[in-house]
Amino acid sequence: MPSAVQSIWEQEYAKPGLPSSQRAKPSNASPFVLHALRARVVPASARLLDIGCGSGRNAAYFANAGFEVHGIDFAAAAKRKFEDSVSRLTVERRPRFVLGRIDRILPFDTAYFDAAICFTTLENLTDDAHIENFKRELARVLKPDGLFAVYFLTPDDEFYGPRVKTGPNGEKIVVAEDIGLTQRVFDGCEILRLFAPPFSLDCSRDFSFEDIRFGVRYIRHLKAMVLMNSAGERASAEPVHRTVTLCRRNRENRHDADN
C-alpha cells in the first residue's frame, strides 16, 4: 500500500503543479554538476544513479552527456513519463527506471555507480534517521571516491522561506500547501553535518533565479553541492575538519546562477 507521501507524488504526476514535474528542461544545476563530474569521471565509461528521478528530465540530460543512467523513484506515474521521455533519446544507452524507495535498501550492487545525483528530492526525507539510512546506502552503492551531487531548497528561498517552521530536532520544515507535502529545507552546513563522514565536499554553487508561482514573482534560492564518497577509507578527523572549513569559506562566497 502506498504511503501518504507516495500518494501525493502519484497525484502530482497525474496533474503536474510543481516546476520539477512540469518542465522538460533539465534542472538549473545540471550544467554545473555535469562540469564537476567531468573533472573526475569519464561519462562514456561511467554509471550514474538519478535518485528521485521523476519524469527523467535530468536522466535524459546526463544520458545525452554519455553516462549510463539508472533512475529510481517510487511514483509509478513518474515511471510512465520517464519511459516516454527517454524513448525519444538517440543515445547508445537509454536511461533505465527502477520503481523503488530511496529511504530503504537500494536495489543495486555495492560500488555499482561512479556518481549519483539527487535533485530536489532529499527534501522528502524529513528526519535525520531516514537521511542516515539513505547516506549508508548511498555510500554502499557508490564506488570509493564516487561523487554525489545534491541540489536542494534552502531557507533563503523566497517562495518556501517565509513558511519554514522548526521541527522537534531543529530541522527546518515547510509544507507545500499546493500539494500538501511536508518537505525539509537545508543549508550547506547542515548537508555536510548529515553526510560527513564518509562524504566530504568537492564543490558547491548557489542558484538564484526568478520563478512565477501562482501568478506571483519570487526569487528562488537553491544550492548544489558535490560530495565525494570516502567510505572504505579509514575514518579520521581530518576530512570532517576540511569540510567544515570549506563550509565556512563557502558561506562567504555566494554566486548567482545565470538562469
Ligand X SMILES: C[S@@+](CC[C@H](N)C(=O)[O-])C[C@H]1O[C@@H](n2cnc3c(N)ncnc32)[C@H](O)[C@@H]1O
Contact region with ligand X (CB under 6 A), list: 70-78, 166-174, 200-208, 247-255: 70-78
For the chain, the residue count is 259
Considering the rule CB under 6 A, would residue 58 count as an interface residue with ligand X? Answer: yes
| Rounded Cα gap, residues 40 and 144, in angstroms | 12
Contact region with ligand X (CB under 6 A), list: 41-49, 118-126, 140-148, 226-234: 118-126
Neighbour tally for 1: CB within 10 Å: 4
Grid coordinates of 2? 502506498
Considering the rule CB under 6 A, would residue 74 count as an interface residue with ligand X? Answer: yes
Number of helical H runs and strand E runs in the chain: 8, 10
Instruction: Tell me how far CA of residue 192 lies from CA of 41, 155, 168, 227, 246, in angstroms.
Output: 22, 16, 20, 9, 10
Q: Which of 119, 199 has the CB closer to ligand X?
A: 119
For the window 222-251, what string marks contact with ligand X as x by the rule CB under 6 A?
A: ------------------------------
Range 119-158, binding ligand X (CB under 6 A): 119-121, 124
For the bound state, the minimum distance from the C-beta of residue 132 to ligand X, rounded and expressed in Å, comes to: 14
Listed in sequence order, the residues at least 6 apart from 128 whose beta carbon sits closer than 8 Å to its beta carbon are 169, 171, 194
Q: Which chain residues interact with ligand X by CB under 6 A?
A: 5, 9, 18, 20, 27, 52-54, 57-58, 73-75, 78, 101-103, 119-121, 124
